[in-house]
Amino acid sequence: MALETLAGMPSTAPLFVRAALTARLRHGDTMPERTLVVEGVRVDRDRLTAYQRLTGHAVDDALPQPYPWVLAFPVQTALMVRRDFPLPLPGMVHLENRVTTHRRLDAADPLTLSVTAGAVRPHRRGRTVDVRLEARVRDELVWECDSVYLSRGRGQEDAPRGEAPPAGPVSPAVARWRLPEDLGRSYAGVSGDVNPIHLHALSARAMGFPRHIAHGMWSYARTLATLGRTSLGPSTSRVWFTKPLFLPGTVELAVAHEGGRTVAALRSARDAETTHLVLTLEG
């Protein structure tokens, strides 16, 4: 595995332009064996505060469990727009995450962030790729995340399927949120994720969606915030993004506790059978 240390944090906007210009050139099934690393990453507290407010977390120095993913997003994007990355980035859909926090993360911690892509795999709706993100403080692994992304296209009906999410709780909702039309643009402003499927109905239609959709990482963070502060310390969460959440919209959150595990489901307020997210949390 080749290890490449970047001089600094990449800027996402030019990377998305490059991704759009080179999308049709992507082909093949071989993923380059490469890890991109950025050292000495410092948290911008103003940006962190804006993120905490938008996702419902308390405004303090504790990093929400999904936040290192946000910090590493430019590095992940830089890896995906390399010429030898076989899948096009525009329109790529986030399917699931598994995140482990090994200790409470403080905004003062200087982080070393690394991103590695795994093998390309067939899927019934296209092809998927696993992406591994890690955060270290000096030599200590403090946070790790495995994400699965779908590149939509011609799929294989008999492709192996990953682990299915648990059944969502059928209990009454503990929270209800109205999501405004501009939520995607607001979250893009605090996260740097300017994927056009989230920004506007017109740009989403160009990517094959009827309307723009909320960021899965926003709904993930908002759900964790509602579950309390367990995920700020040593804990593991797993999330499945099951159906797109179109904007604007209204959703409700149902929660159940099963032994030492919490299960949460974000579902449509109009149709409880339509579930957008299922999450488990253990800590």
pLDDT in tens, 75-84: 999 999 998 8
Which tops the pLDDT comparison, 179 or 32?
179
Residue type, 182: D
Arithmetic mean of pLDDT over the chain: 92
| Domain span holding position 110 | 2-282
pTM: 0.92
Provide the token pair at 15: 């990377």
Q: Which pLDDT value is given to residue 224?
A: 98
Q: What is the per-residue pLDDT across 232-252, written as a single tens digit (0 to 9) for each?
A: 999 999 999 999 999 999 999
**Count of structural domains, the chain:** 1
CATH number of residue 41's parent domain: 3.10.129.10
- Listed in sequence order, the residues at least 6 apart from 243 whose beta carbon sits closer than 8 Å to its beta carbon are 274, 275, 276
d(CA 4, CA 32): 12
pLDDT for 159 beyond 90: no
Measuring CA to CA, how many Å separate 205 from each of 127, 173, 176, 212?
Answer: 21, 32, 27, 8
What's the mean pLDDT in 52-64? 97
pLDDT of residue 23: 75
| Per-residue pLDDT band at 27 (split at 50, 70, 90) | confident
Torsion of CA 249, 73, 58, 258, to 10 degrees: 70
Closest CA to 173 of 265, 241, 280: 265
- Rounded Cα–Cα distance for residues 16 and 194 (Å): 8
The whole-number pLDDT of residue 183 equals 97
Q: Count the Cβ atoms, other than its own, within 10 Å of residue 11.
A: 12
Which long-range contacts link 187-192 to residues 24+ away (Cβ below 8 Å)? 187/54, 187/214, 187/215, 187/217, 187/218, 188/215, 189/50, 190/47, 190/50, 190/51, 190/54, 190/70, 191/51, 191/70, 191/73, 191/215, 191/217, 191/218, 192/12, 192/70, 192/73, 192/74
User: Band of the pLDDT at 29, cuts 50, 70, 90?
Assistant: confident
C-beta separation of 21 from 83 below 8 A: no
The percent of residues above 90 in pLDDT, for the chain, comes to 71
Q: Does the pLDDT at position 161 exceed 90?
A: no
**pLDDT tens across 197-209, in order?**
899 999 889 878 8
pLDDT for residue 112 is more than 90: yes
For residue 151, pLDDT over 90 is answered with no
Instruction: Give the pLDDT of residue 130.
Output: 94
Query: How far is the C-alpha of 73 from the C-alpha of 81, rounded, in Å?
Result: 12
pLDDT given for residue 153 in this prediction:
80
Predicted confidence (pLDDT) at residue 20 exceeds the cutoff of 80: no
What integer is the mean pLDDT of 159-170?
A: 83
Given this model, what pLDDT does residue 90 score? Answer: 80
